A and B are shown apart, each in its own frame.
Chain A
Amino acid sequence: MTCLGDVVAALVDGELDHAARERAQRHLAHCADCRAEVDAQRRLKSRLSGVSVDPSPSDALTARLLGLTSQPPPFREGTGADGAPPLVARPARPLTAAARGAARPVTLRTAGGPGSVRPGSARSRLRRRAGVGSALVALGLGAALALGGPQPSRPSTPVDPGTDAFVVDFVSTTGGSGGAGSGR
């Protein structure tokens, strides 16, 4: 960790205000370690900006996801601990003799006491809720990114940049620093 810490990332991302940026630059002028860290993060950012990311899942992940569809969903019958209505599972695997013998949906009970469900089912529900939550957050962020783009109606004012007059202004202003010459 360098002296500037997280400020390095903020500096590279252009997130610092004027005062903070100037303080950081003053520090960089005298700290080789932080300067090296800023350079490294800039190079990394530059490389990342050129990386094309393939959003499709890998073959291995695809195979695992397909494998999940051939597995039965968690066998969750009866009333859960939260009082939610029971989900009647239709397992793809052959039922055991005990299950086949059941005339009605089975209310599962565990050592946790009456009304409790298997720990595995609770974890599944948590995972499902987390998945739904993540999807909603991702949807919101995606919408925000889409809406946060430049205004399409932003005026495109023609300007005349980089002219020779700017070079004359540069030499006139910085004439004391010397050495401006033609690069023929």
Chain B
Amino acid sequence: MRRARLALLLAATGLLLGAAPSVAVADRGAGLSTREREALDLLQAAARAGRDLTYTGTQQVATWRGPQAGSATAEVHHDPARGSTVDADEPLAVTAVLDPRLLRLLASSYDLAVAGPGTCTGRSARVVEASRADGSLAGRFWVDHDSGLLLRREVFDDRGRRLRSSAFVELSVGAGTASVAPAQQAALPAETAVAGLRADGWDVPRTLPGGLRLFATELTTPRPGGQLLHLAYSDGLSSVSLFEQRGRLGSAPLTGFRPAEVDGRPVWVRDAAPERVVWDGGGRVWTMVSDAPPATVRAAVAELPHDGAGSADGGVRTRLGRGLGRLGSLLNPFD
């Protein structure tokens, strides 16, 4: 596989996406217990360290999707002035970079607690655990005791199976100290921005199944006359990017994708993590890119517009209503 150098200036993405006026995330906020506040403070300090420190290291990233497993290695260099550079075969997330918006979603979706001490790549760490309402473990974070950097992260499904793991296997931290200023105010896209997109005909769900909440929107024009809407959802541990393009899929198979069905409707799936699902519906082509559990991805795809078998272009009711309208128009001599 061709080894591509992927430079991801992750620190800047928060400015690129959701640049529209925004409102604060509505979470449990002041309702956090002392135990949860301590854990959230630790992760927010890790976010500042990941943004403000200079460090170089090697990360091992692994994913599990049922019987399939994959792993990758990435060379990571972060400079507070230039952002993060990731040298890897595929686009990889950087463990040490924590988006404050996702931390707020994490705190509102899961119960956080400092579980105790741990070690990672020979460094002493404090471990933070994120649990679901039923008490099952959803995520675990290792925060470096000395630098405050996030060293390792693991995500589990609701049956306790590991979904993803990313960890530094080598790390060198440069000089400098992390700021103590509060993290960037976490924000969700403003209702006016979402309403504007909807008024232009875009479908913008605020939430997706699995507790995923919209936290960023970006409308671009990658080619003349062809707009692309990117909607980003997360619960703080798993994320979904939903891309909308006006148009329809052609009849030719998508290269690298396999045909599949979700809720009886045809889709194209690319299994390699992050999973990609492509389909058309409602006059648009939808692409979902996600590291969420497969069941969550299927449920999210099922709730969005579909064309094709079983859907009757929006459902029987929609088709019936449209047909009655056209029938009335045909029978109305004044129409």
Contact = CB atoms under 8 A, between A and B. Distances in A.
Contacts of A18: 198, 204-206
Interface stretch (B121-129, B171-179, B240-248): B240-248
Contact of B326 (A13, A42, A147, A178): A147
Interface residues of A, number: 56
Contacts of B314: 14
A161 B245 contact: yes
**Size class of B's contact patch?**
35 or more
A145 B314 CA distance: 12
Given A22-B206, A161-B287, A175 B327 contact: no
Nearest to A171: B91
B297 interface: no
Interface in B315-333: 315-324, 326-327, 330
Q: Which of B93, B94, B243, B271 gathers the greatest number of chain A CB atoms within 10 Å?
A: B93
B249 A145 contact: no
Interface in B265-290: 268, 270-274, 276, 278, 283, 285-287, 289-290
A22 B68 contact: no
B309 interface: yes
A141 B230 CA distance: 39
B276 A171 contact: no
B148 interface: no
A32 to B, nearest CB: 9
Contacts of A155: 247-248
Contacts, number: 242
Given A161-B254, A183-B70, A177 B241 contact: no
B211 to A, nearest CB: 5
**Majority DSSP secondary structure for residues of A touching B:** helix
Interface stretch (B32-40, B112-120, B161-169): B161-169
B230 A146 contact: no
Contacts of A145: 316, 319-320, 323
Nearest to A13: B315
A26 B90 CA distance: 34
Given A166-B241, A175-B10, A176-B98, A22 B205 contact: yes
Contacts of B250: 156, 158
B276 A28 contact: no
Nearest to B319: A148
Interface of A: 11, 13-15, 18, 21-22, 25-26, 28-30, 42, 45-46, 49-50, 140-141, 143-150, 154-162, 164, 166-184
User: Sorted from nearest, which 3 A-B pairs have the closest CB atoms?
Assistant: A148-B323, A179-B164, A157-B247
18 contacts: A22-B207, A25-B208, A30-B133, A150-B313, A157-B246, A162-B257, A166-B241, A166-B287, A167-B276, A175-B10, A176-B98, A177-B99, A179-B61, A180-B273, A181-B70, A181-B71, A181-B164, A184-B71
Given A162-B254, A172-B10, A184-B1, 14 more contacts: A14-B315, A146-B323, A147-B330, A148-B321, A156-B248, A159-B248, A167-B276, A170-B274, A171-B91, A171-B274, A173-B239, A177-B93, A179-B153, A183-B70
